[in-house]
């Protein structure tokens, strides 16, 4: 059924039989993106297999939020996922219904699940439909009930039977490998997801493959976990009914926010994050009773905000951006709720902790001094960038930004940053013009380590790159979801990557922290015979290709992106392109990191290079 309908759609057939009514599982499997975003293979934290895990975990965490079950056990091995909670357990007579009937759930009753993440009765059904194996087992009042499914179809339903296990629910599933091609769960992404759950639910324990994750101090622990610069003053941690806030400032440019609604990490912000930014600057400005510019107050701010909203409205099924204006049907606006809380609690804190307010005032004064010092340069640079963008030869934009993009998916947009006419030309001719843009560098960028933000405006390439991304005032209006550095895999290409990373880390660290920066992998070799062509990204893949294709295949070593024809390049920048996400860990202190790699510690760096030198054999 699925393949027949898909073929008709692709071939443009429009007849009586083209009008069909899909059942719930067919619709989910035909249009998975509507339910879980993209499919992916597990390389990126927003790939579908993590959304499946999250949909199951959300239900278990909701039980904890309602006061039932303090422990959740998660086990993942070779693609098989098991989640056991100790909540109330699904009512036994409804085990099949909650797993396979759309718009079925308890969360429509706002008394039972007042401030839940999933309110539409879809999540667990999507997991079921997109899994080659799915089992749900409920334990309730010394009885259990089990149902097995395959791609959403019920294959086995056991009668209720007596048991001695504690109340709760066990869900096991294996994502469908025919949809999630070559998928693999990555510990890095799972651990980050689990840590956010425990940071937002103090007292909850999640045991992942035998390791326990637990937080006592909530968002304070979250900031300590994620900060890659030293805080200028102790983290301010404020809690109230339905709200928790942690904030500090660091010696860094830009602003860094972690926002959550009902435990959901809203990576794209939303109304609550906007309200927090406005309220925190207004409160601080009024506390000091000085005419500080809002940008000076927020410069270097690192903050986390979590609120609980009754019946939240998100701007997509994956719930990454909050759209709600109110705290609930009868509650205040989110803006007033957050504003009133900060006006009272943050103002009180600053009055009680003068040492913190003194440090904060000095930070604001330093930001103001720097801003005024470059104000004239900034004004001229903005005008120059605005004029250049109209006829920007460096930027070959995508249609997304020329069309009315309302309702389109910004998450699909990418900006390739490349160097040289031949490489940028190949990518430009090969790209998806609807969503992929190209920014061409002229040689190696400036080493911006140790410089002030003035260089962003004085250096033409940095100025135009900042304007192309639209990140001067933060990531709220970032024009591309993925910023992809595409350089040759040689010494010069590596150096260009390093210089670009220095620029981003120095002035826009949140661009990396929020997972927007990637390195494009391109093949090192082409191995082919008369029947088949294989592109190899490593020496191991080259050896394997030679073994498969037989003796004496033709082997080409790509020494630069410009050597790859546009026709070939299409294979490498499509939906299945290989990307390495640039990540920052807690131990990656940006200042020390940049000082070591980009500073003047020549002898230390020389010893590092010698000790880590790898000599590549010529093919």
pLDDT digits (tens, 9 = 90+) for 455-466: 888 888 898 899
Other Cβ atoms less than 10 A from the Cβ of 63: the count is 22
Say how many residues make up the chain. 619
Residue 118 predicted with pLDDT over 60: no
Q: Tell me the domains of the chain and their CATH numbers.
A: 33-214 (3.30.565.10), 219-373 (3.30.230.10), 375-522+564-590 (3.40.50.670), 525-557 (no CATH)
Confidence of residue 615 (pLDDT cuts 50, 70, 90): very low
Torsion sign (Cα): 334, 338, 339, 341: positive
* Distance (Å, whole) CA 512 – CA 483: 9
Residue 8 confidence (pLDDT): 56
Average pLDDT in the 445-450 region? 88
Distance CA 451, CA 253 (A): 12
205-213: average pLDDT? 97
Q: Would you say residue 110 has pLDDT above 60?
A: no
Residue carrying the six token digits 């991304």: 469
Query: Could you tell me the CA-to-CA distances from 521 to 428, 524, 563, 571 in Å, in that order?
Result: 17, 9, 15, 12
Q: Per-residue pLDDT for 575 more than 80?
A: no
Q: Does residue 19 have a pLDDT over 80?
A: no
Within its chain, how far is the Cα of 242 from the centroid? 25
Q: pLDDT band for 607, please (50, 70, 90 cuts).
A: low
Inter-axis angle of helices 602-611 and 590-598, nearest 10: 80
Closest CA to 274 of 321, 329, 332, 224: 321
Quick check: 384 pLDDT over 70? no
Question: Mean per-residue pLDDT for 201-223?
Answer: 95
Q: Residue written as tokens 């409804």? A: 94
pLDDT of 43 above 60: yes
| Highest mean predicted confidence (pLDDT) among 210-224, 455-469, 580-594 | 210-224
Phi and psi, residue 448, nearest 5°: -95, 5
pTM greater than 0.85: no
With vertex at residue 198, the alpha carbon angle to CA 71 and CA 341, rounded to the nearest 5 degrees, is 130
How far apart CA 79 and CA 174 sit, in angstroms, is 6
Residue owning tokens 């990396």: 512
Q: For residue 612, count CB atoms less than 10 angstroms from its CB and return exposed for 0-12, middle for 13-18, buried for 19 or more.
A: exposed
Is 594 in contact with 506 (CB distance < 8 Å)?
yes
Mean of all residue pLDDT scores within the chain: 85
End-to-end CA distance of the chain: 49
pLDDT score recorded for residue 107? 53
Residue pair 339/275 in contact by the 8 Å Cβ criterion: yes
Q: What mean pLDDT is predicted for residues 379-407?
A: 68
The residue among 571 and 241 whose pLDDT is bigger is 241
The answer to whether 37 and 411 have CB atoms below 8 angstroms apart is: yes
Check residue 18 and give its pLDDT: 59
Bridge partner list, 520: 579
At residue 20 the predicted structure's pLDDT band, cuts being 50, 70 and 90, is low
**Please, which pLDDT band fits residue 173 given cuts at 50, 70 and 90?**
very high
d(CA 583, CA 82): 27
- Residue 67 is predicted with a pLDDT of 87
- Give the pLDDT score at 390: 47
| 499-522 tens-digit pLDDT | 999 999 889 988 988 889 999 988
d(C-alpha 23, C-alpha 108), whole Å: 22
Q: d(Cα 369, Cα 105) in Å, to the nearest integer?
A: 56
Residue ranges with strand state E in 250-360: 256-261, 264-265, 301-307
Distances (CA, A) of 212 to 126, 204, 205, 227, 435: 28, 10, 7, 22, 41
Structure tokens at 564: 């790859």
Rounded to 5 degrees, φ, ψ at 33 are -60, -25
Mean pLDDT of 320-334: 88
- The mean-pLDDT minimum among 46-60, 74-88, 120-134 falls in 120-134
Check residue 387 and give its pLDDT: 61
pLDDT at 112: 45
The confidence score (pLDDT) of residue 554 equals 93
Is the alpha carbon torsion for 262, 267, 271, 276 positive or negative?
positive
Closest CA to 469 of 425, 516, 432, 427: 516
Answer with the residue of higher pLDDT: 33 or 244: 244
Can you tell me the mean pLDDT for 238-247? 95
Rounded Cα gap, residues 460 and 381, in angstroms: 8
Highest mean predicted confidence (pLDDT) among 18-32, 539-553, 587-601: 539-553
**CB-based contact 99:128 (threshold 8 Å):** yes
Q: How many CA within 13 A on the CB side of residue 194?
A: 23
What local confidence, expressed as pLDDT, does residue 178 receive? 93
Q: Are 135 and 171 in contact (CB under 8 A)?
A: yes
C-alpha–C-alpha distance, residues 243 and 238, integer Å: 8
Residue 113: pLDDT band by 50, 70, 90 thresholds? low
Residue with token string 């939240």: 312
Calculate the dihedral angle through the C-alpha atoms of 583, 588, 590, 591, rounding to the nearest 10 degrees. -170
Rounded CA separation 517/500 (Å): 10
DSSP 401: G
**CA separation for the pair 578, 182 (Å, rounded):** 13
How high is the pLDDT of residue 130? Answer: 94
- pLDDT, tens digit, 9 for 90 and up, residues 288-320: 999 999 999 999 999 999 999 988 888 765 677
What is the Cα–Cα distance from 571 to 542, expressed in whole angstroms? 17
Cα(324)–Cα(335) distance, integer angstroms? 10
């Amino acid at each position: 059924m699925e393949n027949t309908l898909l073929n008709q759609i692709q071939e443009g057939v429009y007849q009586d039989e083209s009008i069909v009514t899909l059942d719930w599982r067919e619709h989910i499997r035909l249009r998975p993106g509507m339910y879980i975003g993209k499919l992916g293979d597990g390389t990126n934290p927003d790939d579908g297999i993590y959304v499946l895990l999250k949909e199951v975990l959300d239900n278990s965490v909701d039980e904890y939020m309602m006061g039932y079950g303090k422990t959740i056990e998660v086990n993942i091995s070779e693609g098989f996922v098991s989640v056991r909670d100790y909540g109330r357990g699904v009512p036994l007579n409804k085990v099949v219904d909650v797993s396979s009937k759309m718009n079925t759930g308890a969360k429509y009753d706002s008394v039972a699940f007042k401030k839940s993440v999933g309110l539409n009765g879809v999540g667990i059904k999507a997991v079921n439909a997109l899994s080659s194996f799915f089992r749900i087992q409920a334990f309730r009042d010394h009885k259990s009930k089990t149902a097995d499914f395959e791609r959403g179809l019920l294959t086995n339903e056991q009668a209720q039977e007596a048991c001695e296990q504690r109340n709760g629910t066990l869900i096991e599933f294996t994502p469908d490998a025919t949809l999630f091609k070559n998928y693999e769960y990555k510990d890095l992404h799972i651990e980050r997801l689990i840590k956010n759950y425990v940071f937002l639910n103090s007292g909850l324990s999640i045991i992942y493959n035998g390791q326990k994750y637990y937080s006592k101090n909530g968002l304070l622990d979250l900031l300590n976990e994620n900060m890659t610069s030293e805080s200028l003053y102790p983290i301010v941690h404020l809690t109230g009914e339905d709200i928790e806030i942690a904030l500090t400032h660091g010696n860094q440019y830009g602003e860094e926010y972690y926002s959550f609604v009902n435990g959901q990490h809203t990576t794209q912000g939303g109304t609550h994050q906007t309200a927090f930014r406005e309220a925190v600057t207004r409160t601080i400005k009024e506390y000091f009773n000085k005419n500080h510019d809002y940008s000076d107050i927020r410069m270097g701010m690192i903050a986390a905000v979590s609120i609980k909203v009754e019946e939240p409205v998100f701007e997509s099924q994956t719930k990454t951006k909050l759209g709600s204006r109110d705290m609930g049907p009868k509650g205040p606006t989110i803006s007033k709720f957050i504003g009133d809380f900060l006006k009272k609690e943050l103002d009180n804190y600053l009055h009680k902790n003068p040492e913190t307010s003194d440090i904060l005032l000095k930070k604001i004064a330093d930001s103001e001094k720097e801003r005024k010092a470059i104000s004239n340069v900034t004004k001229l640079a903005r005008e120059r960038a605005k004029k250049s963008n109209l006829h920007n030869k460096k930027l070959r934009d995508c249609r997304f930004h020329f069309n009315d993009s309302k309702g389109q998916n910004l998450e699909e947009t990418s900006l390739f940053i490349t160097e040289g006419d031949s490489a940028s030309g190949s990518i430009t001719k090969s790209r998806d013009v609807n969503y992929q843009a190209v920014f061409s560098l002229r040689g190696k960028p400036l080493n911006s380590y140790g410089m002030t933000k003035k260089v962003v405006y004085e250096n033409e390439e940095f100025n135009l790159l900042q304007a192309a991304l639209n990140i001067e005032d933060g990531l709220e209006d970032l024009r591309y979801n993925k910023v992809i550095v595409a350089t040759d895999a040689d010494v010069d290409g590596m150096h260009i990557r390093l210089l670009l990373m220095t620029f981003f880390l120095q002035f826009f660290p949140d661009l990396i922290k929020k997972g927007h920066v990637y390195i494009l992998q391109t093949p090192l070799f082409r191995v082919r015979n008369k029947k088949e062509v294989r592109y190899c990204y490593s020496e191991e893949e080259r050896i394997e290709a030679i073994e498969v294709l037989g003796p004496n295949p033709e082997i080409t070593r790509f020494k630069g992106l410009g050597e790859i024809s546009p026709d070939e390049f299409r294979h490498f920048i499509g939906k299945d392109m290989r990307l390495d996400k640039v990540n920052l860990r807690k131990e990656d202190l940006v200042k020390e990191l940049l000082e070591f790699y980009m500073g003047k510690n020549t002898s230390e760096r020389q010893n590092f290079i010698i000790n880590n030198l790898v000599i590549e054999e010529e093919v």
